[in-house]
Amino acid sequence: MYRLGQGVPQNDNKAAHWYREAAAKGDASAEENLGDLYNIGRGVPRDYDKAAHWYRRAAAQGDAGAEYNLGLLYYLGRGVLRDYVASYKWLALAAAGGGHGAADRLAVRMMGSLRRSMTAAQVARAQNEAIELRRKHANAKERR
């Protein structure tokens, strides 16, 4: 509400406050949104380490947007060490999650670009890690 000014005056500081409250309770959407605020520096100081932290928490719950953003951070080396295998893994998970249109297509294009900088063994490792994480996400959803 506060981030976009829906029904209330737009206020990034209040948005950050309420995202933090919900994220502390494990809400993946709030974790991703809080990561976005830290990534762009709205309502909070720009902090790529904190952005990566919140994206990682949301991605651990299978949030495709957070997976995509975490893949970008690994690709750029912002808040995390640059790691093309990790980047490819998170982008593959985001693309497999679907439903994000342009972001899905961008993830697939970035994976193609990454593939040119990776060995076949690295690509295979990233794909296997993505498959394993997708299984864990599916199992966790079944238990809820």
Domain boundaries, given as residue ranges, for the chain: 12-143
Q: How confident is the model at residue 2, as a pLDDT? A: 46
**95 contacts 104 by C-beta, under 8 angstroms:** yes
Three-state SS at 116: coil
Cα separation, 14 vs 35, in Å, equals 15
Q: In CATH, what number does 12-143 get?
A: 1.25.40.10
At 83-119, the pLDDT tens digits run: 999 999 999 999 887 656 667 788 888 999 999 999 9
Q: How confident is the model at residue 42, as a pLDDT? A: 92
The pTM assigned to this predicted structure is: 0.88
